[in-house]
Chains A and B, each alone.
Chain A
Amino acid sequence: MLLARMQTGDSEAFAALYRKYWRRLFDAAYRRILLREESEEIIQEIFVDLWAKRETLLISVSLEAYLFGALRYSIYNLIRFRKIREAYLEHLLQVPGDQNNYIEDRLHYEELARALESSVQNLPEKLRKVYLLSRKEHLTYKEIAEQEQIPVDTVEKQMGRALKILRENLKEFAWAWIVLEMWGLYP
């Protein structure tokens, strides 16, 4: 039972739950707000909140119902607190078939994938191996440890270092993206 394991502080169970639900949650958020960054922010907060409350959380129906309930709450708040500009909100409500945002936002992730790919290639050998086993093969840290004949906490440390390096690289990418968006606004 992943939920019960997560509630006792098992971070692998948490990661598995993330993998299980993130995509449907993201799609559900994006359909309603058509904004990439806000959708990301909402999904991030839902999972961060889930982890933070893991010990005290009482799930009465199902985790799925809980997560989608939290999603709805976040979307409502986003709109209520005017975090979406009113002009945009009008557009959101009145142009049901608009696909422009989809195209632009998908392009962002394709670009990101390319940046990520080259960052992964540049990781130190050991870190790259662990990263790929975890992210591409979806092996657990324990499975990686067994396969590579290294202690589990070494795997954890290496993953942490790999993620840190990637984050640093992707951070610059994200910033470059913001700058590009700005120049689009101010020709």
Chain B
Amino acid sequence: MAVTAPECYYIKSGEVYRRMDKDRLLYLLENDKSGQNSPAEAEELEAWYRSAESRPAFTDGLSADGLSALEDKLFARIQTANAESEEWVDVLPAGKSGWYGWGKIAAAVLFLIVAGLGLYMFQRQNGRITERTGFGETRVLTLPDGSEVTLNGNSVLSYDAEWSELREVRLEGEGYFKVVHTKDHRKFRVRTGADFSLDVLGTQFNVSKRESGTRIVLDEGKVRCNLGDSESDTLVLRPGEMVQFRKKPSDYQRERVEKGLYSAWKDHKLIFKNTSLREVAGILRDTYGLETDSSRPELLDRQISGSVPTDNVDLLLQGVAEASAVTITRDGDQLVIAPKSE
């Protein structure tokens, strides 16, 4: 039987090495990085790497058109990244040329921010434009440079009526940005607090600042987060990565997440994947102004997966209730979660 999975075994000096499993592979890779693999271990890793040669060549199964589509798509991405990395070299101070691969022109970032209100105050001086949305309202705004922002419910966006070199907006709440690339490559910055901002060059992204912490999810493209005042304290996000922190940006955690999961609200739906009712309650509070109460707090630990529409709050609540097998009663802005009555 062992013969049916030849790449999982290899034989050396008459010894049969065990089947490669994920823990073994991760172990060998860690050792490889630090150069601590024994010769036998190095050979085992090498054998695994080589064994994949027995799999078919992916591109052999493509039609001529499919093949050139892949070739062109990849090359277009490479060219764009090359062009943009050279722009960044120009934009950034000397000695900071490491920003290669600012991949695609378009990026979709989701950015959920929660830090206490009053972390900074919106300036309401002359020449400053402030846009607000009410609970449950979404609105599409066009900025002076033609960039577009979709504001989610209970959010505030403000910016100077006249931008100087830097295009900067401030956000409290949540928004989805489509940033246009200017001919002179002016930076676009979203600031959510004195200690946190995000720089992009012509991307689409989604930002939100809420009460429980800050969360950024990048679906596509690349974005740089500025974690503090210092130029060097930055973090580049790659597609599919999420960064979140509670209060201090420097205490961030980075992980991989499902693409699109966090920006679905823009298309009038919410997608949950093993999301606890506690998190759902947070969204209902931040975006819809609904407070949740339950005599049985352990119900809030229930997790739900699925998608619910957001354009009708009652349907949303009904979907959440069904997915988590609870009853949700609404009285004005107050929700009560109870076990499902038989």
Contact = CB atoms under 8 A, between A and B. Distances in A.
B65 interface: yes
Contacts, number: 158
Given A44-B78, A48-B100, A178-B219, A93 B25 contact: yes
Contact of B63 (A22, A44, A110, A171): A110
A109 interface: yes
Interface in A28-64: 30-32, 39-41, 43-45, 47-49, 51-52
26 contacts: A19-B71, A26-B70, A49-B100, A52-B85, A80-B30, A86-B22, A89-B25, A94-B5, A94-B8, A96-B5, A109-B70, A112-B69, A113-B63, A113-B69, A114-B65, A163-B76, A163-B79, A163-B80, A166-B76, A170-B73, A171-B105, A175-B220, A182-B258, A182-B261, A182-B271, A186-B305
Nearest to A75: B49
Interface string A89-101: 1100110100100
Nearest to B306: A186
A22 B71 contact: yes
A66 interface: no
Interface in A99-132: 99, 102, 105-106, 109-110, 112-114, 116-117
A44 B81 contact: yes
B213 to A, nearest CB: 22
Interface stretch (B53-61, B112-120, B122-130, B133-141): B53-61
Interface of B: 5-8, 20-22, 25-26, 29-30, 32-33, 49, 52-63, 65-82, 85, 100-101, 103-106, 108, 219-220, 239, 256, 258-261, 264, 271, 273, 305-307
Main secondary structure of the interface of B (DSSP, over half): helix
A23 interface: yes
Main secondary structure of the interface of A (DSSP, over half): helix
Q: What are the 7 tightest A-B residue pairs by CB atom distance, in nearest-first order?
A: A113-B69, A113-B65, A30-B58, A109-B66, A27-B57, A31-B52, A31-B55
Contact of B75 (A18, A30, A32, A85): A18
Given A52-B100, A113-B69, 7 more contacts: A48-B81, A49-B100, A72-B49, A82-B256, A96-B7, A102-B58, A170-B76
A79 B28 CA distance: 11
B65 A117 contact: yes
Interface residues of A, number: 60
B7 A89 contact: no
A167 interface: yes
Contacts of B20: 93
A29 to B, nearest CB: 9
B75 A15 contact: yes
A135 B67 CA distance: 12
Contacts of A114: 65
A51 B79 CA distance: 10
Interface string A59-85: 000000000000010011001101101
Nearest to B105: A167
Contacts of A99: 56
A116 B106 contact: no
A27 B58 contact: yes
Contacts of B219: 178
